[in-house]
Chains A and B, each alone.
Chain A
Amino acid sequence: EPEVTQTPSHQVTQMGQEVILRCVPISNHLYFYWYRQILGQKVEFLVSFYNNEISEKSEIFDDQFSVERPDGSNFTLKIRSTKLEDSAMYFCASRYRETNTEAFFGQGTRLTVV
Chain B
Amino acid sequence: KQEVTQIPAALSVPEGENLVLNCSFTDSAIYNLQWFRQDPGKGLTSLLLIQSSQREQTSGRLNASLDKSSGRSTLYIAASQPGDSATYLCAVKGPGGSYIPTFGRGTSLIVHP
A100 CB–B CB distance under 8 Å: yes
A32 CB–B CB distance under 8 Å: no
| Contact status B100-A102, CB under 8 Å | no
| Contact status B100-A100, CB under 8 Å | no
| Contact status B98-A56, CB under 8 Å | yes
* Complex interface residues of chain A between 10 and 65 (CB less than 8 A to chain B): 31, 33, 41-45, 48, 55-56, 58
CA distance A45 to B44 in the complex (A): 14
CA distance A108 to B39 in the complex (A): 12
Residue of B nearest to A101 (CB): B49
- In this complex, the interface size class of chain B, counting residues with CB under 8 Å from chain A, is 20 to 34
CA distance A107 to B91 in the complex (A): 17
| Contact status A104-B46, CB under 8 Å | yes
CA distance A101 to B34 in the complex (A): 10
| Contact status A102-B34, CB under 8 Å | yes
CA distance A103 to B43 in the complex (A): 12
Chain A residues in 8 Å Cβ range of B106: 42
CA distance A62 to B67 in the complex (A): 36
* Complex interface residues of chain B between 47 and 86 (CB less than 8 A to chain A): 49, 51
The secondary-structure label for the interface of chain B is strand
Residue of B nearest to A50 (CB): B99
Number of contacting residues on A, CB 8 A? Answer: 27
CA distance A86 to B46 in the complex (A): 26
| Contact status A45-B102, CB under 8 Å | yes
- Contacting B43 at CB < 8 Å: which of A44, A100, A106? A106
- Contacting A105 at CB < 8 Å: which of B46, B51, B98, B102? B46
- Contacting A91 at CB < 8 Å: which of B44, B51, B93? B44
| Contact status A103-B101, CB under 8 Å | yes
B107 CB–A CB distance under 8 Å: no
| Contact status A56-B99, CB under 8 Å | yes
Given contacts A42-B106, A91-B44, A103-B34, 9 further A-B contacts (CB under 8 A): A6-B43, A31-B99, A33-B100, A41-B105, A42-B104, A43-B91, A45-B101, A100-B31, A105-B46
Interface residues of A (CB under 8 A from B): 6, 31, 33, 41-45, 48, 55-56, 58, 89, 91, 93, 98-108, 110
